[in-house]
Amino acid sequence: MIWLAGKSIDDIIKVPLEIKGRLSVRANYNNEVYLFNNSLIHYQVIPSNPKLRIYGWDIAVNVGLFYEIEHSFFDCNKVLQELKFWQIDIWDKIPEEFRDVVFYHELMEHDYLKEELSVYEAHKKAFIKEQVYVSKFLGLEQLKIFQNVLKDLGIIRNYPLLNT
């Protein structure tokens, strides 16, 4: 959670994030963000909220979500400040060993949207990158397990790698 009331933007802890191999990410602590391609990204693991399903925002429908947040707060000098950052939420039902795959997909989608692609196109391209990612870092057996985990949660993801 980002909560800077009575603090300063300088109190944000920025953790550099580079993709040099399989991602090793964990949910951020309070006032901590990843710094990726000049974007501040806060990551958290959340439970499903069926009340949000009617708006298309229930994490159980999407597995992972990202969206921009504008956090307004009064700093220690009682001056109104604003911090913009991206939030990545991953459903808590996704096993920890596979959360990097969902996180990677959301990062790629974020980057494509920065290129002003439509949400649909960004998602499509991010899924292509996700397929490359899983082919590099998950063995066939792990990929089958991940696909079955998703299937058990009602999420259909077809990885062509499994069709060969």
Whole-Å CA distances, 51 to 69, 96, 105: 20, 25, 25
**Where do the structural domains in the chain lie, given as residue ranges?**
9-163
**Helix or strand or coil: residue 81?**
strand
Which residues are bridge partners to 35 per DSSP? 16, 40
Q: Report how far apart the first and last C-alpha atoms of the chain are (Å, whole number).
A: 42
pLDDT at 78: 85
pLDDT at 1: 66
pTM of the model: 0.87
Q: Is 7 exposed, middle or buried (0-12, 13-18, 19+ CB in 10 A)?
A: middle
Per-residue model confidence as pLDDT tens digits over 119-156: 889 989 999 999 999 999 998 999 999 999 998 888 87
Count of residues in the chain: 164
**Alpha-carbon distance 68 to 56, whole Å?**
16
Rg (CA), the chain: 17
Lookup: tokens for 8 = 């300063």
Per-residue model confidence as pLDDT tens digits over 8-56: 778 888 999 999 999 988 888 788 899 999 999 999 888 877 666 665 6
